[in-house]
Structure 1
């Protein structure tokens, strides 16, 4: 299954995840959005949150402001969501470090949106 087909399938099966991605894309216009953690690995329990990585290409605002915008956009979503915002250039520069956060997301994460 291709990355795009996998994302389409995940979003179709999980309307809450689809709403999370839609709101984040509308609010931040990211380059990429990934699901990572237990939901991406398939071992989530009933109380598991959604771990989301948002990659922004050449952000014009500090990361903390982008994070604030992301959390505001997700108000009212009927699930716990943990959002991490990174700039794409830093993410890509650290991919080669096997124990890094970007490498873990690349290994285990699911790409849900690509601009």
Structure 2
């Protein structure tokens, strides 16, 4: 990763941690996956993150948190996709090729 990409990654991780903490949700792990994790990104590639949290979150709350993260990063011109899974869902879905969680777990980089 270039220095700029490392700075962007750090900004994303900080935003994720802060937004979940503001909602009293414990982030257990963050995985970077997709083209950026594989080293195959292009200048206009987005960032793909899977966030594992300590408990299930209602859909509405999850969408609000992810929306705030995306809005915050859009101000810095960082395009990000954030998938949120509880520990239980992550463990189940990471073993099933029918879920993006499987590929994030297999190919992703733990941050």
Match of 1:90 in 2: 89
Contact 1:67 1:83 survives alignment (8 Å): no
Please report how far the alpha carbon of residue 27 of structure 1 lies from its aligned counterpart in structure 2 after TM superposition.
1.3
Q: Which runs of 5+ in 2 are unaligned?
A: 21-25
Change (3 A) 1:41 1:90: same
Change (3 A) 1:63 1:10: farther
Q: Which runs of 5+ in 1 are unaligned?
A: 1-8
For residue 23 of structure 1, the aligned residue among 2, 15, 18 is 15
Change (3 A) 1:11 1:30: farther
Change (3 A) 1:11 1:88: farther
Provide the rounded CA distance (Å) in 1 between the counterparts of 2:4 and 2:102: 27
Contact 1:38 1:48 survives alignment (8 Å): yes
Q: Give the TM-score normalised by the residue count of structure 2.
A: 0.78
Q: Which whole-Å deviations, capped at 9, do the CAs of 1:30-89 have from their partners, x for residues lacking one?
A: 111111100001100110000111111113x31341232133134123211111111110
Q: Give the TM-score normalised by the residue count of structure 1.
A: 0.76
